[in-house]
């Protein structure tokens, strides 16, 4: 069953003292575009995360966000980086040698110095494993969500295919009546213009008119496109691009049909046909 490109998934894991949370959002896109946002001190995991996403998905814009916060009941443990403090002291001594009146650094200024504070519990030996496993769980949930939405979209598309088939079934029996109507309309036109044609010439004109306005081929092609769509929708593989092309062909035949019919009922049927095709086009854009 084809999958939808839209979906959302969330996964949590506890790696004491941290709680890591993955949130994945997927929307439709012509190709696969993956965005991975990680906390600065976890950026080293980004390549592995991208590999996992790319191995499971083929289309859609995928936004992957990882948040790492302290788990409930834990407080942040912070220590001083003595090497950075020593460097700051050396720099302060050099500055005061040039500017004797310069004020010494305060404790607050030192604590705000880049790299002075070390969060000792930000890393853990099992953190990388937990990040990847939690991502895998979120990806599995996303796949389930996309499959579920895909089933709904396929059902809606098949329903539209059935609606198109019903309209075609209504139009076909009226083709002969349409040809008769066109022939009679031609006769009235000649009578109105007081044109006296020989039977042979009248027959030629009628044949040319009927050939120009004949919709039998459009009916055949519409039926063929619908059948191909129904077969495509039952495949268990990505079909989004092929589906889009097939719906374009369906719409082209519907436009040709609409331009040929010169009957009120058939015109309404052709409009209903185009409405169904437009609904299919919108729905198909979300399939992978």
The reported pLDDT for the residue numbered 265 is 74
Architecture category of domain 148-284 in CATH: Up-down Bundle (1.20)
CATH no. for 7-74+129-145: 3.30.230
Contact 150, 287 (CB under 8 A): yes
Q: At residue 125, does pLDDT exceed 60?
A: no
Residue 191 pLDDT: 59
Check residues 217 and 214 and name the one with the higher pLDDT. 217
Residue among 127, 135, 129 nearest 55 (CA): 135
Residue 100, SS3? Answer: coil
Q: How far apart are CA 283 and CA 15, in angstroms?
A: 41
Which tops the pLDDT comparison, 131 or 128? 131
Extract the tokens encoding 7.
């979906």
Higher-scoring residue by pLDDT: 70, 61: 61
Cα separation of 233 and 204, whole Å? 45
pLDDT score of 183: 59
The predicted structure's pLDDT at residue 22 = 96
Average pLDDT of the segment spanning 238-252: 90
Name which of 172, 165, 161 is nearest 279 in CA terms.
161
For residue 212, what pLDDT band results from cuts at 50, 70 and 90?
Answer: low
Q: 146 pLDDT band (50/70/90 cuts)?
A: very high
Reply yes or no on whether the pLDDT at 209 is more than 60.
no
At residue 15, the pLDDT reads 82
Per-chain mean pLDDT for the chain: 83
Highest-confidence segment of 72-76, 173-177, 214-218: 214-218
Q: Delimit the domains of the chain by residue range.
A: 7-74+129-145, 78-119, 148-284
Contacts 24+ apart (CB under 8 A), 146-151: 146/3, 146/4, 146/5, 146/6, 146/7, 146/26, 146/288, 147/1, 147/3, 147/4, 148/4, 149/3, 149/4, 149/6, 149/7, 149/286, 150/1, 150/2, 150/3, 150/4, 150/287, 150/288, 151/1
What pLDDT score does 202 carry?
54
Task: Look at residue 172 in the predicted model and tell me its pLDDT.
Answer: 82
Could you give the CA distance from residue 87 to residue 107 in angstroms, rounded to a whole number?
Answer: 15
Torsion of CA 140, 145, 150, 151, to 10 degrees: 100
- The whole-model pTM stands at 0.69
Please answer whether residues 286 and 153 qualify as being in contact, where contact means their C-beta atoms are separated by less than 8 angstroms. yes
Instruction: Encode pLDDT of 6-54 as tens digits.
Output: 999 999 998 877 888 999 999 999 889 999 999 887 888 899 999 999 9
**HSE of 14 in the Cβ direction (CA atoms, 13 Å)?**
6
pLDDT at 200 > cutoff 70: no
Q: Is the pLDDT of residue 143 over 90?
A: yes
Q: Measured between alpha carbons, how far is 91 from 99 in angstroms, rounded to an integer? A: 12
């Amino acid at each position: 069953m084809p999958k939808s490109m839209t979906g959302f998934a969330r996964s949590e894991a506890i790696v004491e003292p941290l709680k890591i949370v993955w949130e994945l959002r997927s929307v439709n896109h012509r190709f696969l575009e993956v965005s991975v946002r990680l906390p600065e001190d976890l950026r080293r995991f980004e390549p592995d995360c991208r590999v996992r996403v790319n191995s499971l998905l083929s289309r859609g814009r995928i936004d992957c966000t990882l948040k790492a916060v302290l788990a409930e009941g834990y407080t942040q443990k912070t220590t001083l980086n003595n090497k950075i403090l020593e460097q700051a002291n050396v720099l302060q001594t050099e500055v005061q040698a040039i500017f004797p009146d310069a004020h010494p650094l305060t404790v607050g200024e030192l604590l705000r110095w880049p790299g002075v504070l070390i969060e000792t519990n930000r890393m853990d030996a099992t953190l990388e494993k937990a990040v990847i496993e939690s991502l895998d769980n979120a990806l599995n949930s996303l796949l389930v969500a996309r499959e579920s939405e895909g089933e709904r979209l396929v059902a809606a598309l098949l329903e539209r295919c059935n609606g198109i088939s019903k309209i075609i079934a209504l139009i076909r029996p009226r083709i002969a009546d349409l040809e008769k109507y066109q022939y009679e309309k031609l006769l009235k036109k000649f009578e109105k213009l007081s044109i006296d044609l020989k039977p042979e010439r009248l027959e030629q004109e009628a044949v040319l008119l009927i050939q120009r306005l004949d919709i039998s081929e459009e009916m055949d092609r519409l039926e063929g496109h619908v059948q191909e769509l129904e077969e495509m929708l039952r495949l268990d593989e990505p079909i989004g691009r092929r589906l889009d092309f097939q719906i374009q062909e369906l719409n082209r035949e519907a436009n040709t049909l609409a331009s040929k019919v010169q009957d009120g009922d058939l015109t309404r049927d052709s409009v209903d046909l185009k409405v169904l095709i437009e609904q299919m086009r919108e729905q198909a854009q979300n399939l992978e």
